């Protein structure tokens, strides 16, 4: 019985990790940029919601929408002014610049919000749980998972059903030829980063609502996101969801055996996947 | 008046000067072939027309307006579309999506639409849901041509569209070029295959080491002159 | 060309010669620093030094190995924990524990690499981070060392350490201060070790290989660098250094927690910024960066967070604005280097060529740069597919392309250089070559560009063009007694066409017929399996690498063939036997040559027998104003440093006229080679031309043999590609052409030796004053018995040169023995005359189809014209109706084309002159089967009982089906 509960918790946790990972996957997929500040952007998103709630006195939904807008602008501007300049064959510039951003965001947040741990309050919603047979599932984890699915559905719709999505994919395949179709790379990349930042803001919302956070937890969340992406296989958002769920399950089961092993169990599953299937479990075939 | 003209076009490929003052023109509805060995500057010439290479503004004129050095997106919006060398389809897009992305930057009225492209290359209709890299080389080339047509270009640039294709497929592709001409568009083909170029073109320019060594109508130029222009003999 | 003896390769620079001793002094001063400076200064220095160690290790990884890791904290932490484990749990002396920890860290790096090396680029970076996290979590489980909360190093451990007690007494310090001093000495030693080892390593060949990987992995692989091994070595070394540093750092700190030992900020972020700011990919950069970081940290010590923000911003800005960092900027500006790891070529003149890109030394040419806002099309996403890929557009490759295209076989030809031959090189174009051109329909084009046989053959032996003529030999079939041999042998005439004019005709025809030619495209490497050859090629203009997939590949890439090398074709003989130079010049020499027109004028002077091809040569390129001098040099001394003035001096010496206007147009150097491949092919790759037979130009056989190589192989490829012959047919290429290659290599080299006796007889073998030379040369003019013997000998030696210039049998007389020839049971016809000098036509299977003139209707054609063009020909006579039917049957059976000719009165072909009756060696009911390359592959003297069965049986063997 305890195991059924563990598995359900693991899957729900996986939803959170999938949310963490989606933005990372998106950015890598479109512009081959690995954003080492991804985790810190999620924390920034969480703080943005926090500001909405605590400083502006808004409701959590309104704050989240505001944070989403804020992150959209941050993403667009950052990509447009800074990150587009790092793209190229050399992988060191994007890596180093995003690492630099990571340090800057962490310390900026420390300066602005101190090192205290925070939590986003969802007005008691955290306490609600749903009874499914003999298993009770928290409403918040369920909502997280549901949000992950909705986000991925929306993104897939965007990618596969809209002209802008086609332009994203074309640019991702071959940015030079995409220009010949009249697609402006810089604009597309900036738009992609802005979009990814909205997802990051959503991830930040749940990051803050489901557990405590402080300015320095970004890197560890980046690692979870990264593991979910790799386990799932590059290039497919549903694969990322599956990767998140597998990671969540591994951590939940590890924690069930010994609470100290939660993170370690996730890492070990990740390394195992890497050894057995270096391209991930559900890679999309590309040319 | 010429639809497009280049006036002493110079261009670099990296530090290497690939074009040394190319003066050329193409009239409305005309088909011009650029021939020459690879390395002669043909692709650089087309790339410059498509905006992929820097050029002084006045070096290229389209429809009376200087366009040298404009961004590719801007040039496409004016009505110059390119079929790049090596086809360069988008592998993660289906055949139909590859075609549809062709008019992202220019939605002009004209003879070409998805339907018209499928009529030109019926096999693509059958394959429209397939991923573009599951196609044969010839079918890929059809997609590349169709994709460029989707913007209803006034001028179509074709770079080495026969490269790596079997002779039968080359024939089909060039048959399509003929119907594109018939629809009124001007066409510039870059070809290494001399005979192919002579068959299709109203006029040819022969490039050697970045310079025009010969121009004229195929009928007026003997095989000997073309060969020596081509080979620099 | 340059005299290589004047050059040397050096590592050092002027600055390095000054700076390195200074650095040594600085290290010495640091070692004595604890005597004079305070403990806090020692701790500052300790900080700087460990940053240098870690930065240098990371620099080696990322800057040289291209392994951008953000997980080196794994080894710092592991080294620290192992040190504590060794010292506390095992009771080791801390120094021993530190060294053991270093080794353990290195050992840990191996399995870690197995996992993280599966990731590329940025994902490798995060993968290393995850690995570090795993180690952090695992070490946090080490309950004996305090688990998650960590532990501290008991002071008893430090007290007992070797050196600590000595330091305490010597410097009069407390234990903790003495520990700091010892730690400082250790880290100083480690810093010297790491910097020094990196320096030596980068100067070594392995270091060069590493840089090559960074610059271009594919290129490095193609020149034989084991990429994975080199990367692993660097990863293990960097981890070893980090683990040692970790041990020393935490020995000094005296306490440890998993979070501090595995801190990504402390041990990776800082380190990364240090390297980037200082200058990645240089040994100086990390040192500069560490000093800057130390300065910043002291300056901003009260604003920890702002300090980090500033650091992140500065590093990002440096990366974007000056990606080579501060040291890179300095280096570019002042050409300054303390640790010169790059090699430079030092020569007698300035400016000094600086081969600063190490990968060049491993054979990668300079890629084209990218200019300003130009957008470069990336590598094509597609592979070119074709049936046959031909590498090289010289006589072999060009002929192969033209022939394959004429047979309708799709082919792609790539050529490394921008266009065809730029020097006249080969010129003698023999009858067999002309026959191939005739089949391709370009014989007349070639004749139009050629110098005809009549103007080729007054081979002059003289002391200079203006000087004494020692003798003359009518060559290339120009002697009346030989003219008939040449005329009778072929429908074509021998002629002289410089390669510069020959190649455009052949390649032009190939392209006209459909060959896709890609110039400035070089072969890089290839792989093959049972059905495909995939060649990686590089467009040198665009610096793009792409692949060409073909069913077969032809390696016609010349005497320096990379394909032959990559295939590992066994070679015999040696390269670079003698040195030779070509000096092209323009001069109107009509006065000296018009009365004795020739392509070659041989000049015998003291010294003109050194190196080269036997004697000095003045070769006609175009009559009579374009010329080429061939002059030897001793290969041991290397090519001389030849100025235009030197070249003109040599030319004038050969002409013997100081007044006549001479314009030097080009100089080039080459070597006389004596090498032949024992095998021509492997799998689906076939080599031909100079790739497999490398020899001097003597006898004028190189280009001709190359064309015949192509003529032999191409029809076989066509039939196999069409599925009409078994792959076994292709084996016959090697069996038939390899003996020819070996023969001509030997022949050409022998021809050089035959000049020796002439020099000896003339007394020119050793130098002396001019009058002495004159006296020796005139010795043969005396009315003495001794002089008569000398005259006779000289005459004989000159006549012997017919083996170089009238070697008709070697030119035309090949008889193939292979699976693609079916013997008819008759013994091989003998040679009535010298087999090298004279061509002996026969229809014996394996021999070339004899040429005779026959009539078809009103048209006079050669028997050679009836054969060829990618099809078999079957010749029979008036009574051979049975063979006509058999031919049709066989054609249907194999799906190949067989053209049957009945020759004789009343037949399609009329033997008007009666020559065929003589030459065919068969009766009127017999038959001769001729392959598409005009070689007889089977014959039957008389009609067989069952002609169809016999013909089909013979063809089955020829086509490799039995």
Flag if B101 and A172 touch (Cβ within 8 Å). Answer: no
* Residue C928 pLDDT: 97
Give the A window 192-211 contacts with C, CB below 8 Å.
none
pLDDT at C301 over 80: no
Among all residues of chain B, which has the CA nearest to that of C511? B193
* Residue C684 pLDDT: 96
* Residue C922 pLDDT: 95
ipTM of the complex: 0.90
Rg (chain B; Cα; Å): 17
* Residue C6 pLDDT: 47
Give start and end residues of each alpha helix (H) in C513-643: 562-567, 590-593
Gap between the Cα atoms of B97 and C267, Å rounded: 48
Topology annotation, domain A2-276: ABC transporter involved in vitamin B12 uptake, BtuC (1.10.3470)
pLDDT digits (tens, 9 = 90+) for B154-173: 999 999 888 878 778 888 88
Flag if C371 and B14 touch (Cβ within 8 Å). Answer: yes
DSSP letters spanning chain A: -HHHHHHHHHHHHHHHHHHHHHHHHHHHHHH----TTHHHHHHHHHHHHHIIIIIS---HHHHHHHHHHHHHHHHHHHHHHTGGGG-SS-SHHHHHHHHHHHHHHHHHHHHHH-S--B----TTGGG-EEEETTEEEEHHHHHHHHHHHHHHHHHHHHHHHSHHHHHHHHHHH-HHHHHHTT--HHHHHHHHHHHHHHHHHHHHHHHHHHS-B-TT-HHHHHHHHHHHHHHH-TT-HHHHHHHHHHHHHHHHHHHHH-GGGHHHHHHHHHHHHHHH-TT-SSPPP--
End-to-end CA distance of chain A: 46
Gap between the Cα atoms of B14 and C904, Å rounded: 68
Flag if B76 and A163 touch (Cβ within 8 Å). Answer: no
Flag if C125 and A226 touch (Cβ within 8 Å). Answer: no
* Residue C8 pLDDT: 46
**Checking phi first, is residue A140 left (phi over 0); if not, alpha (psi -120 to 50) or beta?**
alpha
Residue B226, judged by CB atoms within 10 A of its CB (0-12, 13-18, 19+), counts as buried
Q: Chains touching chain C at 3 or more Cβ pairs under 8 angstroms?
A: A, B
* Residue C595 pLDDT: 93
Query: In chain B, which residues have their Cβ closer than 8 Å to the Cβ of C519?
Result: 37-39
Flag if B93 and A173 touch (Cβ within 8 Å). Answer: yes
* Residue C848 pLDDT: 97
Average pLDDT over residues B84-100: 91
Provide the residue ranges of all domains of chain A, joining segments of one domain with +: 2-276
What are the φ and ψ backbone dihedral angles of C888, each rounded to 5 degrees? -65, -40
Give the C window 342-361 contacts with A, CB below 8 Å.
none
- Quickly state the pLDDT bin for C215 (edges 50, 70, 90): low
- Determine if the pTM surpasses 0.90: no
Average pLDDT over residues C930-935: 97
Distance from CA of A104 to the nearest CA of C (A): 4
Give start and end residues of each alpha helix (H) in C754-841: 756-762, 770-778, 785-800, 802-805, 808-812
Supply the mean pLDDT for chain C. Answer: 87
Q: Chains touching chain B at 3 or more Cβ pairs under 8 angstroms?
A: A, C
Best mutation target, B92, B99, B143, B158, to test chain A (most A CBs within 10 A): B92
Flag if B37 and C377 touch (Cβ within 8 Å). Answer: no
Give the C window 482-511 contacts with A, CB below 8 Å.
none
> Least CB-CB distance to C368: which of B13, B88, B231?
B13
Distance from CA of B73 to the nearest CA of A (A): 4
pLDDT at C418 over 80: no
pLDDT digits (tens, 9 = 90+) for A224-274: 999 999 898 877 889 999 999 999 999 999 999 988 889 999 999 998 888
Among all residues of chain B, which has the CA nearest to that of C386? B164
Average pLDDT over residues B166-183: 86
Flag if A92 and C320 touch (Cβ within 8 Å). Answer: no
pLDDT at C154 over 70: yes
* Residue C335 pLDDT: 64
Best mutation target, A25, A85, A98, A100, to test chain C (most C CBs within 10 A): A100
pLDDT digits (tens, 9 = 90+) for C116-145: 888 877 778 888 999 999 999 999 989 898
Average pLDDT over residues C538-563: 89
Give the C window 321-340 contacts with A, CB below 8 Å.
323
Dig out the tokens for B164 from the structure: 């790596």
Specify which of A125-129, A259-263, B182-186, C708-712 reaches the highest per-range mean pLDDT: C708-712
The better pLDDT of the pair C677, A126 is held by C677
pLDDT digits (tens, 9 = 90+) for B16-60: 788 999 999 999 999 999 988 877 888 899 999 999 988 999 999
Among all residues of chain A, which has the CA nearest to that of C116? A274
* Residue C63 pLDDT: 83
Flag if A166 and B93 touch (Cβ within 8 Å). Answer: yes
Distance from CA of A226 to the nearest CA of B (A): 23
Flag if C320 and A93 touch (Cβ within 8 Å). Answer: yes
Best mutation target, B90, B102, B137, B148, to test chain A (most A CBs within 10 A): B90
* Residue C400 pLDDT: 97
Any chain C CB within 8 A of the CB of A268? yes
* Residue C365 pLDDT: 32
pLDDT digits (tens, 9 = 90+) for A21-76: 999 999 988 888 889 999 999 999 999 999 999 999 899 999 999 999 999 999 99
Average pLDDT over residues B209-221: 86
pLDDT at C548 over 80: yes
Q: Lowest-pLDDT range, A72-81, B6-15, C895-904?
A: B6-15
pLDDT at C380 over 50: no
Best mutation target, A182, A183, A287, to test chain B (most B CBs within 10 A): A182
Any chain A CB within 8 A of the CB of B106? yes
Q: Lowest-pLDDT range, B50-59, C333-342, C444-453, C487-496?
A: C333-342
**Own/partner long-range contacts of B97-101 (Cβ < 8 Å, ≥24 apart):** B97/A166, B97/A169, B98/B132, B98/B143, B98/B147, B99/B124, B99/B143, B99/B146, B99/B147, B99/B150, B100/A163, B100/A166, B100/B150, B101/A166, B101/A167, B101/A170, B101/A178, B101/A181, B101/A183, B101/B147
Residue A5, judged by CB atoms within 10 A of its CB (0-12, 13-18, 19+), counts as middle
Distance from CA of B102 to the nearest CA of A (A): 5
Average pLDDT over residues C196-211: 77
Distance from CA of C703 to the nearest CA of B (A): 20
Any chain C CB within 8 A of the CB of B220? no
- Quickly state the pLDDT bin for C217 (edges 50, 70, 90): low
**Going by DSSP bridges, is the β-strand pair C384-391/C544-555 parallel, antiparallel, or unpaired?**
parallel
Integer CA distances (angstroms), C587 to C58, C294, C313, C449, C658, in order: 64, 73, 69, 20, 12
For B207, the enclosing helix (H) or strand (E) is strand B203-208
Gap between the Cα atoms of C701 and C805, Å rounded: 10
Distance from CA of A286 to the nearest CA of C (A): 11
Any chain C CB within 8 A of the CB of A248? no
Supply the mean pLDDT for chain A. Answer: 90
Sheet holding C853-856, edge to edge: C859-862, C853-856, C909-910
Query: In chain B, which residues have their Cβ closer than 8 Å to the Cβ of C508?
Result: 227, 230-231
* Residue A28 pLDDT: 86
Any chain B CB within 8 A of the CB of A187? no
Query: In chain B, which residues have their Cβ closer than 8 Å to the Cβ of A173?
Result: 90-93
> Least CB-CB distance to A107: which of C264, C308, C378?
C308
> Least CB-CB distance to A180: which of B72, B93, B97?
B72
Gap between the Cα atoms of A86 and C316, Å rounded: 10
* Residue C374 pLDDT: 37
Q: What DSSP designation does C62 have? A: I
Integer CA distances (angstroms), C446 to C451, C452, C503, C652, in order: 10, 11, 10, 32
* Residue C342 pLDDT: 52
Size of the B and C interface in Cβ pairs below 8 Å: 94
Among all residues of chain A, which has the CA nearest to that of C111? A275
8 A C-beta contact, residue B63 and residue B48: no
* Residue C360 pLDDT: 30
Q: Which of B230, B214, B212, B226 is nearest to C420 (CA)?
A: B230
Give start and end residues of each alpha helix (H) in C282-427: 284-299, 304-321, 325-334, 358-361, 395-406
Residue the block writes with tokens 């084209």: C368
Any chain B CB within 8 A of the CB of A260? no
Any chain B CB within 8 A of the CB of A181? yes
- Quickly state the pLDDT bin for C222 (edges 50, 70, 90): low
Taken in order of first residue, the domains within chain B and their CATH numbers are 4-231 (3.40.50.300)
pLDDT at C181 over 80: yes
The better pLDDT of the pair C685, C1 is held by C685
Flag if C130 and A101 touch (Cβ within 8 Å). Answer: no
Among all residues of chain B, which has the CA nearest to that of A187? B73
Q: Which of C450, C499, C428 is nearest to C751 (CA)?
A: C428
Flag if C508 and B227 touch (Cβ within 8 Å). Answer: yes
* Residue C393 pLDDT: 94
Gap between the Cα atoms of A239 and C218, Å rounded: 31
pLDDT at B232 over 70: no
Flag if C385 and B137 touch (Cβ within 8 Å). Answer: yes
8 A C-beta contact, residue B151 and residue B76: yes
Flag if A271 and C122 touch (Cβ within 8 Å). Answer: no
Gap between the Cα atoms of C109 and C120, Å rounded: 17
Any chain C CB within 8 A of the CB of B15? yes
Any chain A CB within 8 A of the CB of B87? no
Flag if A179 and B52 touch (Cβ within 8 Å). Answer: yes
Query: In chain B, which residues have their Cβ closer than 8 Å to the Cβ of C512?
Result: 194-195, 223
pLDDT digits (tens, 9 = 90+) for C75-103: 999 999 999 999 999 989 999 999 999 99
């Amino acid at each position: 019985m305890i195991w059924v509960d563990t598995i359900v918790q693991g899957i729900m946790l996986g939803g959170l990790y999938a949310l963490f990972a989606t933005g990372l996957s998106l950015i890598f997929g479109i512009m081959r940029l690995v954003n080492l500040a991804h985790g810190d952007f999620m924390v920034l998103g969480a703080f943005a919601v926090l500001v909405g709630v605590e400083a502006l006195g808004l409701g959590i939904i309104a704050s989240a929408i505001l944070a989403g807008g804020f992150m959209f602008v941050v993403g667009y501007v950052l990509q447009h002014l800074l990150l587009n300049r790092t793209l190229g064959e050399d992988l060191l510039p994007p890596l180093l610049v995003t690492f630099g951003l990571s340090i800057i965001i962490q310390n900026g947040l420390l300066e602005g919000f101190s090192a205290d741990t925070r939590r986003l309050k969802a007005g008691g919603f955290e306490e609600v749980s749903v009874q499914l047979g003999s298993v009770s599932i928290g409403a918040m984890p369920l909502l997280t998972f549901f949000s992950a699915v909705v986000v991925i559905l929306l993104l897939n719709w965007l990618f596969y059903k809209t002209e802008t999505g086609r332009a994203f994919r074309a640019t991702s395949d071959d940015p030079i030829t995409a220009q010949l179709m009249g697609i402006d790379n810089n604009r597309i990349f900036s738009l992609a980063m802005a979009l990814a930042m909205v997802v990051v803001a959503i991830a930040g919302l749940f990051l803050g609502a489901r557990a405590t956070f402080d300015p320095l937890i970004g890197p560890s969340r980046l690692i979870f996101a990264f593991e979910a992406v790799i386990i799932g296989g590059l290039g497919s958002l549903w694969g990322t969801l599956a990767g998140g769920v597998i990671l969540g399950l591994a951590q939940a089961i590890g924690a069930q055996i010994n609470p100290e092993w939660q993170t370690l169990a996730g890492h070990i599953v990740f390394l195992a996947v890497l050894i057995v299937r270096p391209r991930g479990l559900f890679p999309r075939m590309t040319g | 008046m010429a639809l497009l003209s280049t006036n002493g076009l110079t261009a670099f490929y990296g530090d290497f000067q690939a074009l040394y003052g190319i003066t050329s023109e193409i009239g409305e509805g005309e088909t011009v072939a650029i021939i020459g060995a690879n390395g002669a500057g043909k692709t650089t010439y087309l790339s410059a027309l498509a905006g992929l290479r820097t050029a002084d503004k006045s070096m290229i004129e389209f429809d009376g307006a200087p366009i040298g050095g404009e961004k590719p997106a801007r040039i496409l919006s004016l009505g110059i579309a390119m079929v790049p060398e090596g086809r360069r389809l988008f592998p993660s897009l289906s055949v139909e999506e590859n075609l549809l992305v062709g008019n992202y930057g220019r939605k002009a009225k004209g003879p070409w639409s998805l339907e018209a492209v499928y009529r030109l290359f019926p096999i693509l209709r059958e394959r429209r849901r397939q991923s573009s890299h599951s196609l044969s080389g010839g079918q890929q080339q059809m997609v590349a041509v169709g994709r460029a047509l989707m913007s209803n270009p006034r001028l179509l640039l074709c770079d080495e569209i026969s490269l790596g294709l079997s002779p039968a497929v080359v024939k089909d592709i060039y048959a399509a070029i003929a119907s594109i001409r018939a629809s009124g568009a001007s066409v510039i083909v870059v070809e290494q295959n001399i005979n192919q170029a002579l068959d299709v073109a109203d006029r040819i320019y022969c490039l050697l080491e970045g310079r025009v060594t010969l121009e004229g109508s195929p009928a007026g130029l003997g095989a000997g002159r073309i060969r020596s222009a081509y080979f620099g003999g | 060309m340059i005299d290589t003896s004047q050059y040397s390769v050096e590592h050092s620079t002027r600055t390095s010669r000054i700076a390195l001793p200074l650095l040594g002094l600085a290290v010495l001063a640091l070692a004595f620093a604890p005597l004079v400076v305070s403990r806090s200064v020692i701790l500052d220095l300790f900080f700087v030094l460990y940053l240098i160690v870690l930065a240098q290790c990371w620099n080696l990884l990322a800057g040289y190995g291209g392994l951008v890791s953000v997980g080196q904290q794994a080894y710092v932490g592991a080294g620290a924990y192992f040190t504590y484990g060794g010292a506390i749990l095992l009771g080791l002396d801390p120094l021993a524990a530190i060294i053991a920890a270093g080794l353990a860290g290195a050992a840990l790096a191996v399995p870690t690499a197995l996992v993280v090396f599966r990731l590329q680029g940025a994902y490798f970076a995060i993968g290393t981070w995850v690995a570090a996290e795993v180690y952090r979590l695992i070490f946090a489980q080490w309950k004996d060392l305090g688990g998650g909360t960590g532990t501290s190093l008991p002071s008893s451990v430090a007290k007992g350490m070797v050196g600590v007690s000595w330091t305490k007494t010597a410097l009069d310090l407390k234990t903790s201060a003495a520990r700091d001093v010892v730690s400082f000495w250790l880290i100083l030693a480690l810093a010297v070790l790491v910097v020094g080892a990196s320096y030596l390593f980068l100067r070594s060949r392995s270091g060069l290989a590493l840089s090559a990987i960074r610059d271009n992995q594919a290129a490095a692989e193609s020149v034989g660098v084991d990429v994975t091994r080199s990367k692993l070595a660097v990863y293990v070394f960097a981890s070893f250094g980090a683990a040692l540093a970790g041990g020393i750092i935490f020995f000094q700190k005296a306490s440890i927690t998993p979070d501090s030992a595995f801190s990504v900020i402390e041990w990776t972020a800082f380190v990364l910024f240090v390297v980037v700011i200082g200058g990645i990919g240089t040994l100086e950069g990390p040192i500069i960066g560490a000093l800057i970081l130390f300065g910043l940290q002291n300056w901003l010590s009260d604003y920890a967070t702002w300090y980090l923000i500033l650091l992140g911003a500065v590093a990002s800005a440096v990366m974007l604005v000056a990606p080579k960092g501060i040291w890179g900027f300095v280096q570019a500006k002042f050409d300054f280097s303390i640790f010169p790891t790059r090699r430079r070529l030092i020569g007698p003149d300035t400016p000094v060529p600086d081969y600063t890109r190490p990968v060049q030394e491993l054979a990668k040419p300079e890629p084209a740069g990218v200019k300003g806002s130009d957008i470069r099309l990336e590598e094509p996403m597609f592979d070119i597919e074709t049936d046959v890929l031909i590498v090289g557009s010289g006589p072999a490759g060009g002929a192969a392309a033209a022939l394959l295209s004429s047979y309708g076989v799709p082919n792609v030809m790539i050529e490394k250089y921008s266009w065809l031959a730029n020097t006249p090189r080969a010129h003698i174009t023999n009858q067999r070559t002309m026959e191939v051109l005739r089949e391709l329909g370009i014989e007349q084009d070639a004749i139009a560009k050629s110098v005809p046989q009549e103007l080729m053959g007054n081979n002059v032996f003289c002391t200079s063009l203006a000087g004494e003529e020692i003798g003359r030999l009518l060559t290339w079939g120009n002697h009346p007694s030989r003219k008939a041999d040449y005329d009778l042998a072929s429908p074509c005439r021998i002629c002289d066409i410089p390669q510069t004019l020959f190649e455009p005709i052949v390649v032009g025809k190939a392209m006209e017929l459909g060959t896709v030619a890609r110039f400035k495209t070089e072969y890089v490497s290839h792989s093959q399996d049972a059905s495909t050859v995939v060649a990686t090629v590089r467009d040198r203009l665009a610096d793009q690498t792409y692949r060409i997939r073909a069913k077969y590949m032809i390696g016609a890439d010349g005497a320096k063939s990379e394909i032959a090398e990559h295939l590992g074709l066994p070679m015999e003989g040696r390269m670079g036997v003698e040195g030779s130079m070509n000096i092209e010049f323009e001069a109107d020499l009509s006065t000296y040559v018009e009365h004795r027109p020739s392509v070659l004028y041989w000049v015998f002077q003291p010294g003109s027998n050194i190196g080269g091809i036997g004697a000095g040569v003045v070769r006609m390129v175009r009559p009579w104003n374009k010329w080429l001098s061939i002059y030897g040099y001793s290969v041991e001394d290397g090519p001389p440093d030849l100025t235009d003035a030197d070249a003109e001096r040599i030319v004038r010496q050969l002409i013997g006229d100081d007044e006549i206007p001479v314009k030097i147009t080009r100089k080039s150097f080459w070597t006389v080679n004596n090498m032949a491949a024992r095998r021509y092919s492997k799998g689906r790759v076939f080599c031909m031309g100079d790739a497999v037979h490398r020899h001097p130009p003597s006898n004028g056989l190189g280009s001709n043999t190359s064309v015949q190589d192509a003529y032999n192989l191409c029809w076989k490829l066509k039939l196999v590609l069409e599925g009409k012959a078994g792959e076994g047919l292709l084996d016959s290429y090697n069996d038939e052409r390899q003996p020819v290659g070996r023969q001509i290599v030997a022949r050409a080299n022998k021809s050089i030796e035959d000049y020796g006796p002439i020099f000896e007889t003339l007394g020119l073998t050793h130098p002396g004053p001019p009058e002495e030379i004159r006296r020796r040369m005139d010795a043969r003019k005396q009315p003495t018995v001794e002089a008569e013997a000398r005259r006779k000998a000289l005459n004989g030696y000159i006549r012997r040169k017919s083996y170089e210039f009238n070697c008709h049998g070697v030119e035309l007389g090949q008889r193939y023995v292979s699976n693609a020839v079916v013997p008819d049971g008759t013994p091989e016809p003998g040679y009535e005359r010298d087999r090298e000098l004279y061509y002996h036509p026969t229809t014996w299977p394996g021999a070339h189809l004899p040429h005779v003139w026959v009539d078809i209707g009103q048209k006079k054609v050669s028997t050679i014209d009836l054969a060829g063009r990618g099809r078999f020909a079957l010749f029979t006579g008036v009574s051979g109706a049975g063979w006509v039917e058999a031919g049709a049957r066989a054609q249907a059976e194999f799906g190949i084309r067989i053209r049957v000719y009945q020759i004789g009165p009343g037949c399609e072909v009329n033997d008007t002159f009666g020559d065929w009756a003589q030459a065919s060696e068969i009766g009127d009911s017999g038959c001769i089967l001729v392959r598409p390359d005009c070689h007889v592959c089977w014959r039957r003297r008389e009609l067989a009982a069952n002609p169809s069965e016999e013909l089909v049986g013979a063809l089955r063997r020829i086509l490799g089906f039995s």
